[in-house]
Amino acid sequence: MTDIDVAEEMETSFLEYAYSVIYSRALPDARDGLKPVQRRILYMMSDMGLRPDRAHVKSARVVGEVMGKLHPHGDTAIYDAMVRMAQGFSLRLPLIDGHGNFGSLDDGPAAPRYTEARLAAASLALTGNLDEDVVDFVPNYDGQLTQPEVLPAAFPNLLVNGTTGIAVGMATNMAPHNLVEVIAAAQLVIENPEATLEDVMDLVPGPDLPSGGRIVGLDGIRDAYRTGRGSFKTRAKVAVEQISARRTGLVVTELPYTVGPEKVIEKIKDAVNSKKLTGISDVTDLTDRQHGLRLVIEVKNGFNPQAVLQQLYRYTPLEDSFGINNVTLVDGQPQTLGLLELLRVYVGHRLDVVRRRTAFRLGKRKDRLHLVEGLLVAIMDIDEVIQIIRTSDEVAAARERLMMVYDLTEIQANYILELRLRQLTKYSRIELEKEQDELRREIEELEAILGSDTLLRELVSRELGEVAATYGTPRRTVLLEHDDAPALGSRASAGGAIGAAAGAAAAGTSAAAKAAPLQLEIADDPCWAILSASGMVARTAHDEPLVESGPRVRHDVFRSVVHTTARGEVGALTSAGRMLRLQTVDLPMLAASTGLPNLAGGVPMKDFVPLAKGETLVALVPLDTVIAIGTAQGVVKRVTSDYPLNREDWESITLRPGDAVIGAAPAADADTLVFVTAQAQLLRYDASVVRPQGRTAAGMAGIKLAEGDTAIFFGVVSAGDAGDATGHSAVVVTIANGDAALPGTTAGTAKVTPFDEYPAKGRATGGVRSHRFLKGEDRLTLAWVGRGPAKASSAAGVARSLPSEHGRRDGSGVPLSQSVDEIGPSLT
């Protein structure tokens, strides 16, 4: 029995354990950027011939080979290291080509018996030239085999792929970088050993993470490049999209490094349940292999997406922090290195590798030249050589006689004795002379490289450039200098205005905007709710006058315009007499503009209003005023504003069988109601003669229709629009065509007449003639009355100018060059 001092034994054992973890497990070598287990995996797979052009093999086979021959530390540790080298979301340039389930950021990989692997193409650059004495080999754990102390590493793997590891008393955490940028920096250090950190940082501005995303704030990165320690914030790539007619969403397509979508969803739900997050109605993961990551965060109506995103950055992993700690092994000692020091260590390693490779190749070529020269001597006098061999008693005697007669070395003599007869032809001599010249040229080049540091550096730099051209990819991560730099993108969508506003605010730029927090809920600002002739609906960003200025664009012929507020309500009246309540905030907001907004940013009304077969949307109307409604059978009704508060839709008029609403608009007592029929009869009278009724009433006679006639237009002309000196008084527009022609297929004739030329008549009378038909015309296909001048819209929603003449003296119209199917006002 031996007495042992427990304190001394624990100290000794712990130090041995600490050294083992530091040097043999947790920390990478600064030269090839690999930990021992990673290096052993790549070397063993290369030794097994698992090249990119070969078939995959079971991962369990690779794990078994590595564990049995080089790394006796358990299969789990080996497989975990192997899996990480195959994950595209962990390494910027994966080193193993995995086949099967190698896991995700939220889930682990399948067992090694289910997955397959082989070397990725980039690994060939790490393991290449191992058979040319470029690195030292050391014994394995039992001394029966050897393994490389370090890999040749034809690119700076430590900087490109980064690393992470926890040792005893120290840890390392290095961020991935872009291969092209890092190699450019390495080439600079090769060409100019006195290059400064600033010179290098011009080429390597920051990390390039496998998951993309955005890095916000570069001061911490500069500290890490200078001292080896620092930190930076990473943010997800987020865009605002109109995910449905009523909903806007934040769509995440890139996440911070090492953050998975399930983790984000879990944190969002926890924050919503704890009332830390507001304004989010749902989170959906639409990620698939075809489209990649797509995480849709649905924003509640009335909430500012930018403000919601700021909350998400605060309470969820959509914004994460990455701490850089560049601890690595240099000459067997753990050191904390900055960017320039890391590059210098790698460049020194690569210069040594290429120098040793050049010396090895020089020795091989000199040895071959020595044999070729001896062979040429033998072939020049082959008959004598054969005679010497035949007359010798044994091989040793033949060797001695050849060496003495032809002044050959023992190596040359042995090589001649091993010749085959087919190598003694005349053609073989020509080939040998050609090979001799080639070998002398190569030897001269190799000796020049070994004798010139400049040529050696040029060779290393050129090889690095070839690696960058072969394996380089564009940068994925966006670098932002400050927190107030753009972090919220937008995609072309129906909600483009929100994205445009977000982008403008993010590019903005004032410190005041940064200091003032965004308002979470959308303010109840005045705006316009718009319905276009092509059935698009939207709201404006403000309530500035909608003037006709600048070029007109598609969908800008307005059928209805209602002044409301962003959090107010408007009504949508259908041809069946149904009134539906719409929340203004549900409508997509158009980009702020002067003049007529572009309604191409709206969405189809059918996405908001459920319509029955044959039912159409007639108009948008305010819900706080009296509305006048006209029908195809000539019925008129003014509806009071006592609408039910607990219903989303209700009947505004009781229609007769076969009747339909053709128009509706707010109507005060001082306004004028107008009907126009298919037989070109126009009737106008004061709105005061139609008393307001409840929503269930059927209305009263508005215009007397001739047999076979029908009303095609009903509208309201505001008081004061009947005629003024501005040239923008109310006008009557009529378009005639033949009954045999389909609407919109032929041009027809159009007539534009001042509204004040038509006298007022009594309610329920036949009105006056508004358009005299020409030959082939027997009805009006379109009619409109309102403040002029007017525009017409084609079936494609494109505005068309109407004739400037008011019509011929006989009351007929003038030819219309463009067929149209809708007429809308120009607004002031």
The predicted pLDDT at position 828 comes to 29
* SS3 of residue 512 by DSSP: helix
Q: Are 247 and 608 in contact (CB under 8 A)?
A: no
Among 405-409, 727-731, 744-748, the least confident range: 744-748
What string of DSSP letters covers 163-192?
EEEE-SS-EEEE----HHHHHHHHHHHHH-
Q: Are 659 and 647 in contact (CB under 8 A)?
A: no
> Residue 20 pLDDT more than 80?
no
- How many CA atoms lie within 13 Å of 395's alpha carbon, on the beta-carbon side? 7
> Residue 556 pLDDT more than 80?
no
User: In 3D, which of 557, 627, 641, 622 has the Cα closest to residue 584?
Assistant: 622
Strands ordered across the beta sheet of 814-815: 779-787, 730-737, 749-754, 814-815
The predicted pLDDT at position 725 comes to 41
Query: Residue 824: which residues within 8 A CB-CB, separation 6 or more?
Result: 532, 533, 557, 558, 559, 784, 790, 791, 792, 793
The C-alpha atoms of residue 234 and residue 138 are separated, in whole angstroms, by: 41
Average pLDDT of the residues in 814-822:
60
Angle between helices 395-406 and 382-390 (to 10 degrees): 150
The predicted pLDDT at position 613 comes to 87
Could you report the per-residue pLDDT of 389-429, keeping only the tens digit for each? 889 889 999 999 999 988 899 999 999 888 877 766 655 77
What string of DSSP letters covers 604-623?
EGGGTS---TT--EEEEE-S
Q: Are 653 and 698 in contact (CB under 8 A)?
A: yes
Could you report the per-residue pLDDT of 372-397, keeping only the tens digit for each? 999 888 888 888 888 898 898 899 99
Q: What is the pTM of this model?
A: 0.74
Could you report the per-residue pLDDT of 606-661, keeping only the tens digit for each? 777 788 888 888 999 998 899 999 999 999 999 988 888 788 888 999 999 999 99
Which amino acid is located at 546 in the chain? L
Query: Residue 716: which residues within 8 A CB-CB, separation 6 or more?
Result: 628, 665, 666, 667, 671, 672, 673, 674, 687
H or E segment at 352? helix 339-380
Domains of the chain as residue ranges with CATH: 18-174 (3.90.199.10), 237-317+482-515 (3.30.1360.40), 356-470 (1.10.268.10), 669-828 (2.120.10.90)
Could you report the per-residue pLDDT of 229-255, keeping only the tens digit for each? 999 999 999 998 888 777 888 999 999
Q: Are 522 and 299 in contact (CB under 8 A)?
A: no
The C-alpha atoms of residue 71 and residue 73 are separated, in whole angstroms, by: 6
**Maximum distance among all Cα pairs of the chain, rounded to whole angstroms:** 143
Q: Are 661 and 653 in contact (CB under 8 A)?
A: yes
Average pLDDT of the residues in 316-345:
94
14 vs 795, higher pLDDT: 14
Average pLDDT of the residues in 768-787:
86
The predicted pLDDT at position 492 comes to 34
Residue 624: CB atoms within 10 Å: 13
% of residues, the chain, pLDDT over 70: 84
- Residue count of the chain: 828
The predicted pLDDT at position 424 comes to 66
The predicted pLDDT at position 642 comes to 83
Residue 694: phi and psi, rounded to 5, are -70, 170
Residue 604: phi and psi, rounded to 5, are -60, 140
Could you report the per-residue pLDDT of 520-533, keeping only the tens digit for each? 777 788 888 988 87
Could you report the per-residue pLDDT of 124-183, keeping only the tens digit for each? 999 999 999 999 999 999 999 999 999 999 999 999 999 998 877 788 999 999 999 999
Place of tokens 């730029």: 509
Any idea which residues carry the catalytic annotation?
A: 114
- What is the b/e burial string over 13-37, where b = at least 16 CB atoms within 10 angstroms of the residue's CB? eeeeeeeebbbebbbbbbbbbbbbb
Average predicted confidence (pLDDT) for the chain: 85
The helices-and-strands tally (H runs, E runs) of the chain is 19, 42
* SS3 of residue 782 by DSSP: strand
- What is the b/e burial string over 228-263, where b = at least 16 CB atoms within 10 angstroms of the residue's CB? bbbbbbbbbbbbbbbbebbbbbbbbbbbbbbbbbeb
